[in-house]
Chain A
Amino acid sequence: MSFGCKCGGELNSKLDALLDRYRGQPSALIQVLHQAQELYGYLPRKVLQRVAGALNVPLSQVYGVVSFYSFFTIHPKGKHQISVCKGTACYVRGAGQLLDRIKEELGLKPGETTEDGQFSLEVVRCLGACGLGPVITVDEDVHARVQPERMSDILAAYRQ
C-alpha cells in the first residue's frame, strides 16, 4: 500500500477492499454506494460497473438506485458545496429570496456546478437548525440567519 498519495491506485485498492467486504450481498447496494461516493466524491461509471459485478446486481438496477436517491451523483461536484435549506421553517423565514440571490450571484440552478468548478449548489430539506433559519451550509460550515445581502461576502470568503 502506498502512503500519503491520493492517486487512483490508492482509491482503487480501497474500493477493492470495500467490494470484498460486501461481495455477493445485493442488499448492501445502498451502503456500498455511500462508501464509494465518499471515496471518489461522486460515482463514476467505472465504479458502478465494479459495484454491480461485485454485489451481483444488474448494472441497470444499480443505475435505477443511483437515480432514485438524490444523495447519489454521477457528476463530479464543485470544490465548494453550497446547500440551501428549503425546509418549512427556513422557508417562512425567507429561504426563497435567499436562494434566488445565490442563483443570481453564481448563475446556477440547484444541481449545477459553476464552470470554473468552484461551487456546486443544491437545495436540501431541513438541516436541523430550524430555530435559526434561513440556514445554508458551505462545505462543513453552517451559516445561520443569513440575510440575502450577506451572500456576496460569504461566497467571497470561499473564492480564491
Chain B
Amino acid sequence: MELYRAHVLVCAGAGCISSGCQAVKSALEESIDRLGLKREVKVVETGCMGPCDLGPVIVVYPEGVFYRQLKPADAVEIAEEHLLKGRVVERLLYKAPEDGKTAVTSDQIDFFKKQTRIALRNTGIINPESVEEYIARDGYRALGKVLTSMTPEEVIECIKKSGLRGRGGAGFPTGLKWEFSAKAPGKPKYVVCNADEGDPGAFMDRSILEGDPHSVLEAMAICGYAIGANQGYVYVRAEYPLAVQRLSLAIEKAREYGLLGENIFGTGFSFDVEIRVGAGAFVCGEETALLASIEGRRGEPRPRPPFPAQEGLWGKPTVINNVETWANIPPIILKGPEWFASIGTEKSKGTKVFALAGKVNNTGLVEVPMGTTLREIIFDIGGGIPGGKQFKAAQTGGPSGGCIPARYLDVPVDYESLTQLGAIMGSGGLIIMDEDTCMVDLARFFLEFVQDESCGKCSPCRIGTKRMLEIVERITRGEGRDGDIELLEELGQGIKSSALCGLGQTAPNPVLSTIRHFREEYEAHIYHKKCPAGVCRALMVYAIDEEKCNGCGRCALVCPAKAISGEKKKPHRIDLEKCLRCGTCMEKCKFGAIYTI
C-alpha cells in the first residue's frame, strides 16, 4: 500500500459533473504531475458531498479544507499554493452570504453544521475506492463484533431495539423484518439491497453507493449472519454507472481482504454479494417487482402476502432493505441501539437523508435528525427561497407522496406527522416550490409519470390513473367542469383501495393532497379559468404594456395566429379572440413589453 501525504477529494456526484468537475480534476492532476507531487498527493473522486449548488467542490485532506465553485485555473492555483507550499488559497474558500465570514473546513458552514451524519458518515469524506480508509473509520468492525461476540438473535434484538425503520418509503421496522426472515422456513435465504431509487428528483442512495459502498456491503453481511443467508444481491438502477463501478470494486476488495466470501474472519460464516443492474422501470423499486427483475423476468409486482421475508427471491425467505437503511446498520451495532434510539422522535428514530431541490438556495444532500422541522431544513440549512419569492409548498415522497403547505412549516418531519398531513416521508426527495409553481400542473405532472410507469397489470392503476390524468389535463386547459374535484377524489379513493401494488395504491396521493391543501387553486382553474401561478398556458391572457412597447414589430412577425397588430414605432396590441396563448411573442419581445394576467 502506498502512503500519501495528502488526499484531494473531488466531488464527482452528478451535480458537480454537470458544473464541470472533470475539467477541474484534470487540471489538478496535470499540475500535481508537473510539480512532481504525484507520489505524495492522491486525487480521488467521491460521491456527492452535499452542497451541489456550490459545485465543483473539492476537499483537501488531512486538513479538510473545503474549496468551492472551482474553475480549472483555480485547481492549478490550489496545486501550486496549497499542495506544494501548504498555503490555503483564501479566495476559493466558502463565504457565508449573510456576513461574508470565511469557512476553512466544511463543518464551519451552516449547511453542514445543522446536520447529523449517520448514514452519510463517510460519504464525501473517505476515498470510496479504498477499503483501508473505510476500515480506518471503524469499517467492518461491526461485522467483526457480530461474528465474534453476538448470536444471530442478539443482532436482531439490537436492530429491533434501535427502532430503525425502513428508509425506502414505507417505514417498516427493520429488526422485525429480519426476525420474520430468520424464523421463516426455507433455505437458502437471501439478502437484497434496493438501490433502484426511483423517486424522480432524489439521489440519496446513489450518493451513498458512490461515496461509501462498503457500508452497504458490511450491513448486508451482518444481516446475512442474523437471518442465516450466505448470498446477497444489490439491485442498482442502470442510470447509475458510477455506483455500479464503485460497488463492483468494493466487492472485489472486500473479497480480497476476506471480508466477503468464504469463512469471514475465520469464523466459518460465508457471505457474498452480486450486483444486478436494472433496466429503467420505476415499478422495479417495488420489492416484489424488484425480485422478479433479479430473476431475469419482467418486473411486474405480485400481491402480498406472502411478503418477501417469507417468500422472496426464488420463493425463499428474503430480506430486502433500502440503501440508506443498510448504511445505518454498522453504527447501530457499534454504538448500541440506545444511542440510535436517543436520536429522533418517539416513533421515528435516527436521522433521515433528504435530497433538497427545486426552488431553494442551497440545493443538495442533507441528513438531519428525525423530528427536525421543515422550516429548519428549508431555511436554516437550505438558505431559504431564491429571488425573494414566497415559499409555497414542499413535496415529499415523489409520485407516491404529497405536498406540505407553508402553514405546516413547523411540523416535525417524521413518519407519523407527514402521513397525517396527507404526505409521506418517502425515500427522501424533498422538492421546494415557490409561488410560481401551479399545484394543479404539479398533480398533472405526477399523474403523467405514473401513467408512463404503471406496469399495466391491474386496471384500477392502468385505467383509473388515465381517467384522473384526463380530468386534470382538462382542468389545466381551462375546460374544467363543476364536479371535477369531487370526481377526482372519488376516483382517487377507488384506486387507492383496489390497486394491486404500492405504485397504484399511492398514485392518487399527489392529486388528493393538492386538492386537500390547495383546493382554491383547482377552483380558480375550473370556475374562473385562471391559473394563479401563471403556469397553465391555456389560461393565460397575453397583453402588451403600451409604456414599454416601442413598436418594433417583432412580436407580430412571429405570432402564428396573426393576432398582433399595430403601426411601426407605435404600441402594438393583441387580439384576444385570435390569440392561441402560445407565448411566442413574449419570448421574442426584447423590451419585456408583453406580460400575462
Contacts and interface: CB of A to CB of B under 8 A. Distances in A.
Interface of A: 26-31, 33-34, 57, 61, 64-65, 68-72, 86-93, 96, 124-133, 135, 142-144, 148-149
Given A88-B200, A88-B429, A89-B431, A71 B357 contact: no
A125 B18 contact: no
Most chain B CB atoms below 10 A, which of A31, A65, A89, A143: A89
B276 A92 contact: no
A30 B277 contact: yes
Contacts of A149: 587
A125 B298 CA distance: 20
Nearest to B277: A34
Contacts of A68: 281, 298-300, 455
Nearest to B210: A128
A91 B18 contact: no
B201 A131 contact: no
B18 A129 contact: yes
A87 B490 CA distance: 27
B368 to A, nearest CB: 17
B294 interface: yes
A88 B15 contact: no
B279 A133 contact: no
Contacts of B277: 30-31, 34
> Could you say which interface size class chain B belongs to?
35 or more
Given A65-B298, A93-B358, A131 B280 contact: no
25 contacts: A26-B296, A27-B294, A28-B296, A30-B278, A30-B279, A34-B279, A61-B297, A70-B281, A88-B200, A88-B358, A92-B437, A93-B358, A124-B239, A125-B449, A126-B200, A126-B201, A126-B239, A129-B13, A130-B15, A130-B357, A131-B52, A131-B356, A131-B364, A143-B18, A144-B18
B580 interface: no
B310 interface: no
Given A87-B200, A125-B200, A128-B203, A69 B296 contact: no
A104 B282 CA distance: 28
A129 B278 CA distance: 20
Contact of B359 (A30, A69, A93): A93
A65 B198 CA distance: 19
A29 to B, nearest CB: 4
Contact of A142 (B18, B355, B446): B18
A130 B202 CA distance: 7
Contacts, number: 142
B500 interface: no
Interface string B234-262: 00001110000000000000000000000
Contacts of A92: 358-359, 431, 433, 437, 442
B201 A71 contact: no
A27 B239 contact: no
Given A70-B279, A70-B280, A144 B431 contact: no
Contact of B279 (A28, A69, A148): A69
Nearest to A125: B200
Nearest to B510: A88
A88 B395 contact: yes
Interface string B6-27: 0000000111011100000000
A128 B431 contact: no
Contacts of A142: 14, 17-18
A143 B18 CA distance: 6
Contacts of B449: 125
Contacts of B17: 129, 142
Contacts of A148: 587
Given A130-B201, A130-B203, A89 B14 contact: no
Given A34-B279, A70-B280, A132 B203 contact: no
Given A30-B279, A129-B17, A88 B431 contact: yes
Given A30-B278, A129-B14, A130-B202, 20 more contacts: A69-B281, A72-B279, A86-B200, A87-B200, A88-B199, A88-B398, A88-B429, A88-B445, A125-B200, A125-B282, A125-B449, A126-B202, A126-B203, A128-B14, A128-B48, A129-B18, A130-B52, A130-B355, A131-B363, A135-B18
A139 to B, nearest CB: 13
Contacts of B278: 30, 69, 71
A68 B296 CA distance: 12
Contacts of B276: 30-31
Nearest to B14: A128
Contacts of B15: 128-132, 144
B26 to A, nearest CB: 15
Contacts of A128: 13-15, 48, 203, 206, 239-240
Nearest to A61: B297
A101 to B, nearest CB: 9
A71 B279 contact: yes
B18 A89 contact: no
A103 to B, nearest CB: 14
A89 B201 contact: yes
Most chain A CB atoms below 10 A, which of B13, B279, B449: B279
B53 interface: yes
Contacts of B355: 89, 130
Contacts of B19: 132, 144
Contacts of B299: 68-69
Interface in B432-452: 433, 437, 442, 445-446, 449
A122 to B, nearest CB: 10
Contacts of B293: 30
Contacts of B18: 127, 129, 132, 135, 142-144
A130 B276 CA distance: 25
Pairs of residues from A and B, 7 with the lowest C-beta to C-beta distance, nearest first: A131-B363, A128-B14, A87-B200, A69-B279, A131-B52, A89-B357, A71-B280
Contacts of B356: 131
